[in-house]
Structure 1
Amino acid sequence: MTKKICLSLLSVLVLCALWQTVSTCINAPLLAPGLTDIARALVDLCSTKDFFASLGATFLRCIVAFVIAALVGFLLGTAGGLSKSLAQFIAIPLWCIKATPVVALILLALFWLNSNNIPIFVACIIALPVITESVKAGICAVDKKLLETSHIYKLSSWQEVCIVRFPALLPFARQGLSTAYGLVWKAVAAGEVLSLPQNGMGTVLSLQQVHLQTAHVIAATIILVASGYVSQLLFTLLFTNIKIHSVHVPQRKTFETNNASSKDIRTNLQRDGFSYTFTKESVTAIIAPSGAGKTTLLNALAQDQTNSNELVSFVFQEPRLFPTLTIEQNIFIAASAVLPQEKAYERTQHILDASGLRSVSNRLPEHVSGGERQRTSLARAFAYPAPLLLLDEAFQSQDIAHECMLLQELQTLLSEQKRTVILVTHDAREACVIADKVLVMQGFPLRTVQELQLLPKKKSAAKLYVSPDETIITAEETIHTLLLNSMNGHDLTKSKSS
């Protein structure tokens, strides 16, 4: 920081030295007054009774223009971000505004408005496209996967705005508003120079130029530049201090759950001709070649459950944690969407202890390891009291140690809370050590090749994964054989055995 300040001061000193050298060589105060003349002009301007009124009027016009442009820009940007048709509709007017010279806008405004309002009008027009496009970009930049997660866990609309949409918008809004404010300051000054309102720094500039007071023109320009820099710096600091994770997360009231745990979960995808009944409170693993439609099946299941107002937990291939919430808050926000706040808190604390995440509970997702993020995703799914749990290759990209840890955690949590679990994986051993049955499937369209019933496990999932018993090895070999034949193009459903 000190180095930056020193370099900035050195730059100013070099510029002053160059200016003084040019002024001395030319020896023409009307063209290039010396630093002494400029300093006297600064003192002279600051000592006049109308100076601070002019500076205040310019600053007030900037604030008014900026607020109006921000409000209209946020409205248009939000509309354009949410609707492609509206975005196309406003694209041409915004392009015309950006292509129109500032002087042309000022001259046109002279026909329509009085001199006090012309700078405000021009500044609004100049800043509007910048703010609109920044907001639109922020709206479009929202993570669609996080939106899907918020819908799965039934976050309210306000929670979705606070946790998903606002964090995506804020960086774009910061940049756009900061740029727009700089343009507003320049546009107001230019508008004042040509419209000559009663008070304004642009009026001061124009009058001093008429009287051929070059030193005073430069002094007024220095004041404008310094005032604009300081105000923009304060504005930037204000927006920088807005911490997204400090946004209050409102809690929802109790959500009445349907009695989904009392019946089998059934999916019937008519478009693929696939139908299967998953047994209640059992773990079913699905294994199929890549591209067969396993993830599509889980997404369809989740969508059907959500559309019918049933509860469903989903552990995706990637953690999909809300980046502005801590590990504890990510778990709590899911539980509190259904449970009363006190019960949600108790459930969160229990899950944190059971999953071994207590030591990192107050950290943001970016400050924990990949394995801890995936464990948080699993913990969040268990904190959410849904009878159906979907896992889409939830343990991929994990080393053996972390995969064993996650499998053991899943087994432990399932022993405490019975769920109907559907697990999609490419790892045959992973499926065999955790599942009650394995569906080996083939795509185009998706259909079951063979259903393997597995015996109850006598060892922990972690131990079985590292040292599988004979039953696990046999099932694993069967799965590999079926998958290999499927990849060779054989239609295994014709020789299906159970």
Structure 2
Amino acid sequence: MKNKLFWQRAGAVLFALVLWQFAAMALGQQLLLVTPVKVAGRLAELVRESAFWQTVGFSFWRIVAGFLLALIAGAVLGALSARVHAIEVLLWPFIVAVKSVPVASFIILSLIWLQASSLSVFISFLMVFPVVYFNTLQGMQATDRQLVEMAHLFKVPWRRRLLYIYLPQLQPFLLSACSVALGMSWKAGIAAEVIGIPSGSIGEQLYEAKVYLSTADLLSWTVVIVLVSVLFEKLFITLLKRAFAGLERL
């Protein structure tokens, strides 16, 4: 089944590349759209430069840091809100504000408060936090109340309740949250870098490609963002599933 899905997706990617190639050839304007062959060639040139890996690392670690901080904060506060209704009520206006206000507004405000180099960490955190918080809250609220009451009645230790009642219930909610939030963190983090233009970031490279009308560079860096985002998502979700499986065996 997995092999079939892999080949289906590979075929879809190939179809998209062929469509892109024909569209670029039909348009005949490299300033507007270059072919995937030219993008691949430019990407091959970039990966041979040490500055390329430094740039990818600069953005990667900051966006991942924002995601992980939001994952921890969202999971902890979501669990606390499920147990203490007052916390849920107090957090409600902040969560609604973060969900409703456009990311561009937060980026511009953050430029007043923070250095440009820290911008992607903060913006990634803001975009991921509500997703993890609400999923954790829903997962905790969906836990079987009778099972929880029985655990209290028989004085089951908190560690066992966490391992055998709460974590199995939270697993699908957290996996879903992470799957959605990882893509959001990269989109928001790179958008923050494009506006804040921190030196040595992917956002700076995208901005310079736009200024110099270098479509090949613009699309090459876009491909890099997609690849890094997808690969990290696959790796993180796999590790998270293994972590849950390991906890269940304890």
Q: TM-score range by the shorter chain?
A: over 0.9
* 1:57-136 map, 5 Å: 57-136=58-137
For 1:221 and 1:21, the matched residues in 2 are separated by 20
Distance 1:169 1:50, change over 3 A: same
- 1:46: which partner in 2? 47
Write out per-residue CA displacement over residues 177-216 of structure 1, whole angstroms, 9 at most, x where no aligned residue.
2322221111111111111112221111111111111011
Q: Does 1:229 align with 2:230?
A: yes
For 1:76 and 1:154, the matched residues in 2 are separated by 25
For 1:174 and 1:39, the matched residues in 2 are separated by 33
For 1:75 and 1:115, the matched residues in 2 are separated by 28
Residue of 218, 242, 245 corresponding to 1:243: 245
> Rg: which structure is higher?
1
Q: Does 1:179 align with 2:180?
A: yes
Distance 1:245 1:26, change over 3 A: closer
Larger helix share, 1 or 2: 2
For 1:55 and 1:69, the matched residues in 2 are separated by 21
* 1:260-279 map, 5 Å: none
- 1:170: which partner in 2? 171
3-state DSSP of counterpart to 1:167: helix
Give the residue type in structure 1 aligned to 2:93. Answer: I
CA contact (8 A) 1:70 1:128 kept: yes
Write out per-residue CA displacement over residues 52-90 of structure 1, whole angstroms, 9 at most, x where no aligned residue.
001011110122101211222123212211122221221
* 1:93-492 map, 5 Å: 93-241=94-242, 242-243=244-245, 246-248=248-250
CA contact (8 A) 2:131 2:177 kept: yes
CA contact (8 A) 2:163 2:247 kept: no
Structure 1 residue 246: deviation in Å?
A: 3.1
3-state DSSP of counterpart to 2:117: coil
Give the residue type in structure 1 aligned to 2:90. Answer: F
Give the residue type in structure 2 aligned to 1:40. Answer: G
Gaps of 5+ in 1: 249-498
For 1:9 and 1:225, the matched residues in 2 are separated by 15
For 2:26 and 2:161, the matched residues in 1 are separated by 65
For 2:37 and 2:75, the matched residues in 1 are separated by 47
For 1:23 and 1:176, the matched residues in 2 are separated by 37
3-state DSSP of counterpart to 1:50: helix
Distance 1:28 1:240, change over 3 A: same
Give the residue type in structure 2 aligned to 1:161. Answer: L
CA contact (8 A) 2:31 2:215 kept: yes
Gaps of 5+ in 2: none
CA contact (8 A) 1:162 1:247 kept: no
Structure 1 residue 20: deviation in Å?
A: 1.4
CA contact (8 A) 2:164 2:248 kept: no
CA contact (8 A) 1:167 1:244 kept: no
Give the residue type in structure 1 aligned to 2:186. Answer: W
Structure 1 residue 239: deviation in Å?
A: 1.5
CA contact (8 A) 2:163 2:248 kept: no
Distance 1:76 1:49, change over 3 A: same
Structure 1 residue 35: deviation in Å?
A: 2.5
- Kindly report the root-mean-square deviation, in angstroms, between the aligned alpha carbons of the 2 structures: 1.5
CA contact (8 A) 1:178 1:235 kept: no
CA contact (8 A) 1:196 1:202 kept: yes
Give the residue type in structure 2 aligned to 1:115. Answer: A
Report 1 or 2 for greater relative contact order, CA contacts < 8 Å, sequence distance ≥ 6.
2
Q: Aligned residues: percent identity?
A: 25
For 2:230 and 2:224, the matched residues in 1 are separated by 10
3-state DSSP of counterpart to 1:117: helix
CA contact (8 A) 1:41 1:216 kept: yes
Distance 1:153 1:62, change over 3 A: same
Larger strand share, 1 or 2: 1
For 1:52 and 1:246, the matched residues in 2 are separated by 38
Structure 1 residue 233: deviation in Å?
A: 0.4
Q: How many residues align?
A: 248
CA contact (8 A) 1:123 1:184 kept: yes
For 1:100 and 1:23, the matched residues in 2 are separated by 36
Distance 1:203 1:245, change over 3 A: closer
Give the residue type in structure 2 aligned to 1:7. Answer: Q
Distance 1:4 1:170, change over 3 A: closer
Structure 1 residue 117: deviation in Å?
A: 0.4
3-state DSSP of counterpart to 1:155: coil
- 2:37: which partner in 1? 36
Give the residue type in structure 2 aligned to 1:229. Answer: V
Give the residue type in structure 1 aligned to 2:168. Answer: P
Runs of 4+ in structure 1 deviating by more than 4 angstroms, as ranges, are: none
Structure 1 residue 102: deviation in Å?
A: 1.0
Give the residue type in structure 2 aligned to 1:142. Answer: T
Distance 1:207 1:130, change over 3 A: same
